[in-house]
Amino acid sequence: MTARLDDPLTLPCGVTLPNRLMKSALSETLGRADGAPSRRLETLYTRWRDGGFGLVVTGNVTVDHRHLSEPGNVAIADDRHLPELTRWAQTFRPTTTPLFMQINHPGRQAHSLAGRSRPVAPSAVRAAVPGAVRPRALTHTEILALVARFGAAAGIAEAAGFDGVQLHAAHGYLVSQFLSPLANRRADDWGGDATRRRRFILAIVRAMRSAVRPGFAVAVKLNSADFQRGGFSEDESREVVRALVAEGVDLIEVSGGSYESPAMMGTVAASTAAREAYFLAYARTVRAVAGAVPIAVTGGFRTRAAMAEAVAAGDCAVVGLGRPACLTPDAGTALLVRGLERLPSSGVRWGGARGLVGRFGDLRSLDSVIDLQWHTDQLHRLGAGKEPDPARRWWRTVASATLRMGPGALQPKRSAGRSRR
Ligand SMILES: Cc1cc2nc3c(=O)[nH]c(=O)nc-3n(C[C@H](O)[C@H](O)[C@H](O)COP(=O)(O)O)c2cc1C
C-alpha cells in the first residue's frame, strides 16, 4: 500500500506523527540575552502548533552559551532555564503534533560577535568563508565533556516537556565538522578514518539515548554530503546512517552542505537542484540501509504533488518544510485540508540594486544571505503577533538583520558561499 501525506507515522520509540509534513528547524533568534526562550518564541510556536504539521522541530538550541551560531540562540548549558523551556514546550499542549528540540554546537561556525569564547573544532582548521576565525582544536577531555553536555541537554528537553530531540549533525556545525575529512584532521580516537570520524556523533546519540526514557524520540539531521571536493561523501553518509540505525535513532532528516557550500538552500550546482527536492536522489539510496527508521527529506519542497509523490514512492517517509513555514505558518492545514497546490516562497532578490553589490562579488551568495535574513524577519513578525509580510523589501531586511546580527549580518553563513561541486 502506498503512503499518503495525511497518513500518520509511528516512530520506533512510539511517538506518532499525525501526518507526514514536518516543520524543519528554523533558527528563530528569539532567545533572551541570557539564553532562555522569550515570550515571542512562545507566540511563534503557537502559530506552528495550529499549523496542521505532523511534526515541528525547533530552531537550533546550543549546548554551550559561550558558542552561538547566531545572536539570540536559546542555550541550555544546564537546567537554569527549565521554567522558560517548559513554557515553550507547553505551547504544544494540548495538540497531537509532537515538538522536538534541535540541539547543536556551532564549532568553528560560531558567530564571531555573539560568542564569548574562541571557536572550537575537531582541528584548528578555519572555515573557508570571509570573517571566519581559526578555531582551537578540542582536547580529548573536552570532547568527552561535550558528549556529556549533549546528553544532558536531551534530558533537560525531556524534563521541559518536549517529545523528542533532534541532533543537528548537518550544515557544517560541530558534529558535521567531526564527520568531515576536511575539517577533522585528528589522528586520535576521534579522527583519522571514517570510523573514528563518526565516533563523536555516535557517542552523542548514545549519551542522549541514555539520558531519556524509552518513549522519547532521538532524531538526527544529517548531511547527504558536504558538497565539497574531498569532504564528507554520500558513501560515508550512508555508513553513518547504518551506524545510527544500530544506535536506535527514531528519525533521520537528510539535508546537505555547510556555510562553505550551502547546498541545503538550493545553491548546489549538482543535478539534484534541477528537481524540486534537492536530496531526494540520495534519500532513495539510503532507504534500504535505514530499514525501519523513517527518513525525512528537507530542501526545496514546494508543491503538494511533489511531496505526495515522494511519500507515495517511498523515497522519504516525511517531507520537511523550512522557508515555506515562515510565510505559511499553517502550511500543514493549507496543503492537507485547504488543498493548496503550491506553498508560496517569495523571498527577495536584489534585482535593480545590482550596481550596489559589486564588492560582494557573487550576487547569488548575497541573494541567499538576504533570503535567509528575510525569512528570519518573518519569524520575528510572527513572534510579535503579526502576520508574515510577503512583500517585505530587501532594504528593510538589510536594516533589521544589521540590528539583529551587527555589521557582519550579510557575511556568508548558512545560506551563502558558492557551491563547489
Ligand atoms: C531562517 C532560516 C533558519 C534556519 N535555521 C536552521 C536551524 O536552526 N537548523 C537547521 O537544521 N536548519 C536550519 N535552516 C535550514 C532549514 O531547516 C532547511 O534545511 C532549509 O531551509 C531548506 O529547506 P526549504 O527549502 O524547505 O527552506 C534554516 C533555514 C532558514 C531559512
Looking at the structure, do residues 296 and 160 belong to the same domain, yes or no?
yes
Distance (angstroms) between ligand 1 centre and the Cα of 187 equals 32
Distance (angstroms) between ligand 1 centre and the Cα of 160 equals 24
Residue whose CA is at the smallest distance from ligand 1 atom 12: 25
Ligand 1 touching residue 255 (CB < 6 A): yes
Distance (angstroms) between ligand 1 centre and the Cα of 263 equals 11
- Note whether 121 and 174 are within 8 A (CB): yes
What is the model's pLDDT at position 259?
81
Distance (angstroms) between ligand 1 centre and the Cα of 236 equals 23
How far CA 142 is from CA of 90, 196, 397, in Å, comes to: 34, 16, 38
Looking at the structure, do residues 264 and 339 belong to the same domain, yes or no?
yes
Looking at the structure, do residues 47 and 73 belong to the same domain, yes or no?
yes
Ligand 1 touching residue 108 (CB < 6 A): no
pLDDT tier at 362, thresholds 50, 70, 90: low
Domain end marker among 322, 345, 368: 345
- On whether residue 362 sits in a domain, the answer given is yes
Find cell 511519500 and name the residue.
Answer: 311
Ligand 1 atom having least distance to the Cα of 24 = 17
What is the model's pLDDT at position 406?
74
Residue whose CA is at the smallest distance from ligand 1 atom 23: 299
Output DSSP code: residue 71.
T
Q: Which tens digits make up the pLDDT trace of 186-240?
A: 999 999 999 999 999 999 999 999 999 999 999 999 999 888 888 999 999 999 9
Looking at the structure, do residues 27 and 128 belong to the same domain, yes or no?
yes
Ligand 1 atom having least distance to the Cα of 298 = 23
- The pLDDT of 254-262, averaged and rounded, is 86
Element containing residue 136 per DSSP (H, E): strand 136-137
pLDDT tier at 350, thresholds 50, 70, 90: low
Looking at the structure, do residues 285 and 386 belong to the same domain, yes or no?
no
- Note whether 256 and 268 are within 8 A (CB): yes
- On whether residue 338 sits in a domain, the answer given is yes
Ligand 1 touching residue 322 (CB < 6 A): yes
What is the model's pLDDT at position 226?
87
Alpha carbon of residue 109 to chain centroid: 14
- On whether residue 389 sits in a domain, the answer given is yes
Ligand 1 touching residue 60 (CB < 6 A): yes
3-state secondary structure of 386: coil
- On whether residue 222 sits in a domain, the answer given is yes
- The pLDDT of 121-135, averaged and rounded, is 91
Looking at the structure, do residues 152 and 282 belong to the same domain, yes or no?
yes
What is the model's pLDDT at position 354?
47
What is the model's pLDDT at position 265?
79
Residue whose CA is at the smallest distance from ligand 1 atom 18: 322
Ligand 1 touching residue 419 (CB < 6 A): no
Distance (angstroms) between ligand 1 centre and the Cα of 21 equals 15
DSSP result, 217-262: EEEEEEES---STTS--HHHHHHHHHHHHHTT-SEEEEE---SSS-
Q: Which tens digits make up the pLDDT trace of 89-112?
A: 999 998 999 999 999 999 999 987
What is the model's pLDDT at position 176?
97
Ligand 1 atom having least distance to the Cα of 320 = 26
Domain that holds residue 362: 348-416
Pocket mutation for ligand 1, best pick of 61, 111, 252, 298 (most atoms within 8 Å of C-beta): 298
Element containing residue 103 per DSSP (H, E): strand 99-104
Three cell numbers, residue 384: 510579535
Looking at the structure, do residues 335 and 372 belong to the same domain, yes or no?
no
Better-scored residue on pLDDT, 320 or 260: 320
Q: Domains in the chain: how many in total? A: 2
Looking at the structure, do residues 339 and 378 belong to the same domain, yes or no?
no
Residue whose CA is at the smallest distance from ligand 1 atom 10: 25
What is the model's pLDDT at position 268?
57
- On whether residue 323 sits in a domain, the answer given is yes
Ligand 1 atom having least distance to the Cα of 59 = 8
Looking at the structure, do residues 336 and 354 belong to the same domain, yes or no?
no
Cα 130 from Cα 278, distance rounded (Å):
26
What is the model's pLDDT at position 347?
66
Looking at the structure, do residues 162 and 187 belong to the same domain, yes or no?
yes
Distance (angstroms) between ligand 1 centre and the Cα of 322 equals 5
Give the distance between the most distant pair of CA atoms in the chain.
57
- On whether residue 421 sits in a domain, the answer given is no
We report the CATH number of the domain holding residue 121 as 3.20.20.70
Looking at the structure, do residues 201 and 93 belong to the same domain, yes or no?
yes
DSSP result, 2-64: ---TTS-EE-TTS-EESSSEEE-------B-TTSPBPHHHHHHHHHHHTTT-SEEEPPPEES-
β-partners of residue 143 are none
Ligand 1 atom having least distance to the Cα of 221 = 11
Cα 158 from Cα 216, distance rounded (Å):
7
Distance (angstroms) between ligand 1 centre and the Cα of 149 equals 24
| Cβ atoms < 10 Å from Cβ of 130 | 12
Classify strands 164-169 and 217-223 as parallel, antiparallel or unpaired: parallel
What is the model's pLDDT at position 304?
97
CA dihedral 236, 241, 243, 249 (to 10 degrees): 150
- On whether residue 402 sits in a domain, the answer given is yes
Distance (angstroms) between ligand 1 centre and the Cα of 195 equals 28
Looking at the structure, do residues 301 and 197 belong to the same domain, yes or no?
yes
Distance (angstroms) between ligand 1 centre and the Cα of 60 equals 10
Distance (angstroms) between ligand 1 centre and the Cα of 323 equals 7
Domain end marker among 325, 345, 365: 345
- On whether residue 2 sits in a domain, the answer given is no
Domain end marker among 327, 345, 363: 345
How buried is 135 (Cβ within 10 angstroms: 0-12 exposed, 13-18 middle, 19+ buried)? buried
